[in-house]
Structure 1
């Protein structure tokens, strides 16, 4: 760069400064490193053909990051590695349909819940047995599939053995595959996560068979996980509350009509 060019650049920068229009670099906007489960859970989050994350939860995250005036950077991590990654400072927040439970609160803090979804059992429409989440004996002799390492598996292990056989899977999709093939009789999860399955060709012969009442083991809604004592907890809670109150939460949810009746605003 010659001397004349440097002089012109300095004069242009000075003029912008005087006008209050000094350019802002991207570095001035903090980056929030967000951890998300590597598995897809449409319509909450999944990758499109180009590898970009999309879905209801992604849209809500984008809105929350806008409220915080930060640039959010997503990192996909295996489910059981999310909390360790947060504790080891590889990420700043977990935003991945993680239920707020007492057990998890021993390791990390949570924001206020950004959504809630009732816990349900899904089974075949042709199955005429009447089952009740409050009566484990009603599942006697049946096989219940569940994703391992979740609050749902903890609930089933503590309440439904030995009446029912509990079969844990490394992935929710694998539990659904066994449901379709008849290797399990029911799968338990949050109602919202069954949305895509029940609307699919594979899920057309299945339905919700029982809904569980609120229970401490099943959690207190879905929140953003942060390190213990991190001030980010309060900031995220404020942003989430604003989104729930200013109409943004409702507007985003309206884009996903299949979610109607399966999720509610967190408390």
Structure 2
């Protein structure tokens, strides 16, 4: 009886220890926009889906933490992070000098191209530079020459961009005064206005545009223009974090490097975008 009692107590102790460990498991709360397909979007039944939702869950597993993913409107996503409503942001957010003044970043975990979405029958469909890529950080002269070549084509046109994004900043710096720049709260909103003929083009991340092109109502649209990166367009997409949260930053960086190295980021990007947008170098 004594042996049985000892074994029973040992089993009970183990169960309590496991239960205690589970109860103490750290939860990392990650915000995403939920309106930027295929990066992140709200699917059937209000479930958050997309490239970043899959990647966030993978990174949390590598960090051995519980992952809680919540939706947050884009225009309040950084203030809410700094107000400690969640721990991190994964929402197609590019790493820029301007953002680094108020938050920190881990990564990048993605580096995607960009371009213009236009109707196939539009004069803009013949935009110069289509299929060519330039980096404002390493090819400034060539990149700005490619931008200048676009200006005669878009002169007097109305271009939609999502507000508070690198594309809005780019349009303000390089295209303002040539074209009318109209800002929208979400990419879905400017896509709807494009389809309704209220604007002539959308300037956005090419991966988001490719997602739009998969919709039946956009079968007569096309991605055009030079792909510009670097400089004002940032150094890739990363995890937004509060300044001083160094331990979490290291955990994310280690997990991201592991996911890039073993091909997980490549696999997920090809699943959602049909192209590899994993960071190189």
TM-score by length of 2: 0.83
**Could you tell me which of 246, 251, 259 is aligned with 2:267?**
251
1:175 aligns with 2:190: yes
* 8 Å Cα contact 2:57/2:67 also seen in 1: yes
Q: 2:224 aligns with which of 209, 221, 235?
A: 209
Deviation at 1:249, TM superposition (A): 1.9
- CA shift at 1:40, angstroms? 2.2
- The reply to whether residue 54 of structure 1 matches residue 70 of structure 2 is no
Q: Does 2:132 match 1:137?
A: no
Given that 2:35 and 2:188 are in contact with CA atoms closer than 8 Å, whether structure 1 keeps it comes out as: no
Specify the SS of the correspondent of 2:228. Answer: coil
Report deviation, 1:251. Answer: 3.0
Please name the residue that 1:34 is paired with.
Answer: 30
**Correspondence 1:48-87 to 2 at 5 A:** 48-87=43-82
Deviation of 1:69 after TM superposition, in Å, equals 0.4
Change (3 A) 1:230 1:243: same
Structure 2: gaps of 5 or more residues = 129-145
More helix by percentage: 2
Correspondence for 2:138: none
Aligned residues: 256
Q: Take 2:104 and 2:263, find their aligned partners in 1: how far apart are those partners?
A: 26
Indicate the residue corresponding to 1:218 in structure 2. Answer: 233
> Which residue is 1:189 aligned to?
204
Q: CA RMSD in A?
A: 2.3
Conservation of the 8 A alpha-carbon contact between 1:134 and 1:212: no
Q: Which residue of 2 aligns with 1:260?
A: 274
Query: Aligned equivalents of 1:217 and 1:117: distance in 2?
Result: 14
Q: Which residue of 2 aligns with 1:239?
A: 255
Separation in structure 1 between the aligned mates of residue 100 and residue 280 of structure 2, nearest angstrom? 17
Picking from 85, 90, 97, the partner of 2:85 is 90
Partners of 2:220 and 2:39 lie apart in 1 by 23
Distance 1:131 1:31, change over 3 A: same
Structure 1's 245 and 95: CA in aligned 2 closer, same or farther, altered over 3 A? same
Deviations 1:35-81 (A, max 9, x none): 111x4222222233232222221111111000100001122111111
Is residue 103 of structure 2 the alignment partner of residue 103 of structure 1? no
- The one of 100, 106, 117 equivalent to 1:122 is 117
Q: Deviations over 1:155-204 (max 9, x none)?
A: 10111111111111122111111111111111011111112210111111
Partner residue, 2:173 = 158
The 2-side partners of 1:114 and 1:266 are apart by 10
